[in-house]
A and B are shown apart, each in its own frame.
Chain A
Amino acid sequence: MSTVITATINGRAFRGEVEDHELLLDFLREDLGLIGARQSCEVEVCGSCTVLVDGLPVSSCCYLACDLDGKVVETIEGLVGTPFHEVLSDAFVRHGAVQCGYCTPAMVLTAKSLFFDDLLKDEESVKKAMRGNLCRCTGYRAILDALMDIAASEPTVELRAQA
């Protein structure tokens, strides 16, 4: 069985057929070649497959592609080149917050949703909000440093004001 869906993916209209059992993660990676969403735990715990659907982070490993109908999807590939991605990337690089990189695109996407909802505030609340994104390399300190850095910086505050 398959379904025809209409969705906005990284700012572009998509209309096409997807298998009813097809996972969003497989749809993005295999059908669209958007490899930035990574497969790991497959049970919606590690967060490395995170993409934004209607602005909110979802685990694409446990989300059916057919449920995208009428929705707006943003993956890391869509975020690249935006002012937010530049600012956050600079902070991640500056703080050494990237190691193996497998979880990184998902971290960036979750951080984006927090940032534009004005939820990047103090360390404790950010730890809580980011707990659904696991990283085995960094020990989180560097990522938290990068996030707190942009949370307070002037260019990013302006970015949010514009949004």
Chain B
Amino acid sequence: MMTQLLEQPTKLSTAIGINVDRADARDKLAGSAEYTGDLHPPSMLFGAVLRSQYAHAEIESVDTSGAEAMDGVIAVLTGDDLMDLDPYYGHALRDRPIIAMGKVRFVGEPVAVVAAKSQAIAEAALSAIDVSYRVLPIAATLDRALAPGAPLVHEGPVRPGLAHGLGKLPEREGNICYRYGFSVGDMEAVFSRAAVVVDGEYVFPAVYQYSMETHTTVAHHRGREITIWSSCQHPFLVRQEISELFEVPLDDVRVIVPYLGGGFGSKSYTKMEPLAVAISRKAGLPVRIMNRVDESMVTTRRHNMKCRMRTAASAEGQLLGRVVEMWLDTGAYADNGPRVTATAGDAGPGPYRWEAVDVKAQCVYTNTSPAGSYRAFGATHLQWIGESQVDEVARRLGLDRVEIRRANLLARGGQVRPGAKGLDADLVGDVEEVAAALDWSAPRPSNRGVGLSVGLLAAGAHPVSMATVRLGADGGVTVLVGTTELGQGARTVMGQIAAEVLGLPPSRIVVRGTDTSYTPYDRSTGASRSTTVAGKAVEEAAAQVLEELIETAETTLGVARDELVVSEGRISGGGTAVTYEELIERRFGLKGGELIGQGHVGPRGGSGGFADGPVFWEVCVGGAEVEVEPETGVVTVLRISTVADVGRAINPLLVRRQDEGAVLQGIGNALFEEMRFSDEGLLLNDTLLDYRIPSFEDLPASMSCTIVENQDGPGPFGAKGCGEGAFAAMPAAIVNALADAGVQMTELPLTPERVWKKIQSQQGISKNHSTEEVDQ
């Protein structure tokens, strides 16, 4: 019955499919939007963290007496203060102590925290703490960590964290903390039939997410209650970990999330919160820990990786089989590394109809800073490798690179990997859009090339989200939903969804930030899941409110529901219209009260569509045209084209802007971003002076984003998430475009030095000879 009303043409697309202004834009433009670092609860202290200067060492002693004696210092925390707790946390593996417990495993690991009356005092007090270390052998690179007899980063028992869906956690083998893989078909037979085998080894760099706002937390541990204001993407997971760590019930932990100054995965799961709570517990007052950039860079990063891949194809260009093995460096603590590893494994084959695939992915501890989530993880790691091999197959067989994809890509419903949801998108259509936007076959100078790439990213994470929609007596609506606004526009989109269901203008909807004491549960903000999963909960909650309005309207108007029309905040029927305000007054007998709807989305039941993992396959498709300067190795991205295959664009402008943001991050990852560690595990470029992120000048002259709306997503109105796929597509498209311009690269980033060296090696001995002369 209600469905009939929802399908009333007068109600559709009044609030979705249009570029509703961002609800938060004006506050942000005025500088009045509050981030965690702007908050100042009464008596707040300032925290500073003493961090290890060694990558692997035992702590023999910590003397804090000098710091404690300083004026303005209220408390100093060390591992000794946590002996009454089980102080280990970690989403995938509970391997990380809140603060070093007798041992440090990376340069930058917290050893002590000072809480003082000012930031300056807190920082000054750090130099008055004496730590005595006994240095241990270091495994700061993948090769060192994987070598026989390597120093072990962890030796204790494996303890699972809160993560699920990772299967049974394997025993640790040396420094390998997680393995993922699958195998289909008879690989030997496939390779024996192959006319072409492409075989290569590849290196992917560690990079930093660089959200402009660093990790910032204010915590107050008062009696049994813990209140946390934090720049966190997953407040409910933080609440759960804090509850377990500090042994207080969930309800006594309150996590409040102001605006976030970007996240991109860097603020997923639990980061600085346990440390802030621990020092507050000791100080008895609220304490703020606001990382500097160099501290945030060792708080989380993207996994560097090495990979070997082989692809076999027939003489006609049929892709037959692929073998891929990868090792992801998760640093000293696993964080989300096992999930990243599994997602990278899933991205290994690429979205093709293989006769045989064999994927082995390993997550490896090293004595470097911990690695976790970053936009389009896993897919970004693998797509450039797999897609460069597809291009190479095409080159060797003299086939067009679009054609080989058209011939081999999975069709809708095709198996992406065993046991997972079938493909829910039209990849061939997406690739054709990208190629057309790039003038694929146009003639180009020899130092220019064009490339495209296509892949899939398992998206949606765990589909558990709740929402509450409250319609007040003045006809305005408040949406309570735990999705974090980290810049992507989630609050605007949630408002549009509620507005659409309720037939109200979006300006009547308010969506505020999360306070876990009042906001219903939402699993996380990541994996492109907000619109699809949390949005579905908002849709359901709003539909419940609408149902109550309709019931009241039936009795008020004396008209049967199938004759009612919902539009513009009123319900009409039988020649009369009543506003929502009037209906609420009628319902409660006063100008007060409110109608409340609840939405519950879970893997089973609910609205369905989420039963098989992943929630959806995010399409990662994009293309690039590049130019390389042979004399210098400088690569310039001239033109970009992406396709946002989103099912239904709730707000097309937000979709397009998501793709553009992802593109620039992808360009940075492809061309120049790289965290460089010394063999001793020291991060060598830990400021923006020497770690460069894209600026205005890196913006390609031409960018196009095509929005594809096949209404094939499991989210509200056929929507599915976006914003990550273009990232994964970019390094791959750029690598392929550069290869088209004659330079085949197997290591990122594509720095001028690397590219120039490759050009020299490709040009042979005579060129090398002249290079030597130059060197002399």
A residues engaging B (CB < 8 A)? 29, 34-43, 45-46, 48, 75-77, 80, 85, 88-89, 92-96, 98-105, 108, 126-128, 130-144
Of A38, A126, A136, the contact of B264 (CB 8 Å cutoff): A136
- A41 to B293, alpha carbons, bound, how many Å? 6
Of B34, B293, B653, B694, the contact of A35 (CB 8 Å cutoff): B34
Contacts of A143 in B (CB 8 A): 696
B residues engaging A (CB < 8 A)? 19, 21-22, 24-35, 37-38, 210-214, 259-264, 290, 292-293, 486-489, 653-654, 656-657, 660-665, 687-689, 693-699, 703
In the complex, are the beta carbons of A127 and B696 less than 8 A apart? yes
In the complex, are the beta carbons of B660 and A99 less than 8 A apart? no
- A85 to B688, alpha carbons, bound, how many Å? 29
Q: A39-B37, A130-B696, A131-B695 are in contact. Are A138 and B212 (CB under 8 A)?
A: no
Q: Given A104-B28, A140-B696, list of 9 further CB < 8 A pairs? A: A39-B37, A95-B653, A98-B25, A101-B27, A131-B697, A136-B661, A139-B663, A141-B657, A141-B660
Q: A38-B261, A41-B688, A135-B212 are in contact. Are A98 and B663 (CB under 8 A)?
A: no
Of B21, B290, B657, the contact of A93 (CB 8 Å cutoff): B21
In the complex, are the beta carbons of A134 and B695 less than 8 A apart? yes
In this complex, the member of A37, A104, A142, A143 whose beta carbon has the largest number of chain B beta carbons within 10 angstroms is: A104
- Tell me the smallest distance from the CB of A112 to a CB of chain B, in Å: 12
- A136 to B34, alpha carbons, bound, how many Å? 18
In the complex, are the beta carbons of A99 and B488 less than 8 A apart? yes
7 contacts between A and B (CB under 8 A): A40-B213, A40-B214, A48-B212, A80-B31, A88-B29, A98-B25, A101-B27
Of B19, B260, B662, B687, the contact of A100 (CB 8 Å cutoff): B260
- A40 to B263, alpha carbons, bound, how many Å? 14
In the complex, are the beta carbons of B30 and A142 less than 8 A apart? no
In the complex, are the beta carbons of B687 and A138 less than 8 A apart? no
Q: A130-B696, A134-B695 are in contact. Are A139 and B212 (CB under 8 A)?
A: no
Of B263, B661, B697, the contact of A138 (CB 8 Å cutoff): B661
- Tell me the smallest distance from the CB of A136 to a CB of chain B, in Å: 5
- Tell me the smallest distance from the CB of B660 to a CB of chain A, in Å: 4
Q: A104-B28, A131-B697 are in contact. Are A40 and B293 (CB under 8 A)?
A: yes
Q: A137-B661, A141-B660 are in contact. Are A100 and B211 (CB under 8 A)?
A: yes
Contacts of A139 in B (CB 8 A): 657, 660-665, 694, 699
Which 4 A-B pairs rank lowest in CB-CB distance, beginning with the nearest? Answer: A36-B31, A101-B28, A100-B487, A102-B261
In this complex, the member of B32, B262, B654, B698 whose beta carbon has the largest number of chain A beta carbons within 10 angstroms is: B262
- A103 to B695, alpha carbons, bound, how many Å? 12
In the complex, are the beta carbons of A108 and B29 less than 8 A apart? yes
Contacts of B689 in A (CB 8 A): 43, 45
- A105 to B663, alpha carbons, bound, how many Å? 23
In the complex, are the beta carbons of A38 and B660 less than 8 A apart? no
In the complex, are the beta carbons of A127 and B21 less than 8 A apart? no
Contacts of A40 in B (CB 8 A): 212-214, 261, 293
